[in-house]
Amino acid sequence: MKSMNPSIEWYQKSGKQCLRFIFGEKLTEKEAEIAIQEWKAAFHSKMGEAIALVWDCREMKGYESGARAQWILALKEMKSQIDSIWLITDSAVIKLGAAMMGSFSSQNIKAVSSESEVVL
């Protein structure tokens, strides 16, 4: 059985609740749908709390346009619970895609090269 892409997990950093997404090489539209449902359930379990998102995209090479469109809708829908968004990647293509998502969803997505640079 194929492992879930992205894998999603809770963790603590600097005393704050964070939801980490670890992405594989390519995010399909179907994988985005499944991940967004898990993301919504995770946020629902912490209703009223502001949560930092960490998107670990170090392995990601690309994504389907439908996946990006769904991600933008999810960002808009869950905006009130998002404390901050951190993108971990060295890829200029992934950074550009995240910048587009940020502008379409009115979110500030901070791009860094390693998890140690995530400052909450």
State pLDDT tens for residues 38-53. Answer: 999 999 999 999 999 9
pLDDT tens-digit map of 73-118: 999 999 999 999 999 999 999 999 999 999 999 999 999 999 999 9
Q: Say what angle helices 92-105 and 65-77 make with each other, to 10 degrees.
A: 40
Amino acid at 26: K
Show Cβ contacts of residue 14 under 8 Å, excluding neighbours closer than 6 positions: 119, 120
Look-up of token digits 């209703």: 47
Q: Are 5 and 27 contacting, i.e. CB atoms less than 8 angstroms apart?
A: yes
pLDDT of residue 86: 98
Round the average pLDDT of the chain to a whole number and report it: 95
Tell me which CATH homologous superfamily contains domain 7-117: STAS domain (3.30.750.24)
pLDDT tens-digit map of 25-81: 999 999 999 999 999 999 999 999 999 999 999 999 999 999 999 999 999 999 999
**Prediction pTM value:** 0.94
Return d(Cα 41, Cα 111) in angstroms, integer: 25
Query: Burial of 101 by CB count in 10 Å (0-12 exposed, 13-18 middle, 19+ buried)?
Result: buried
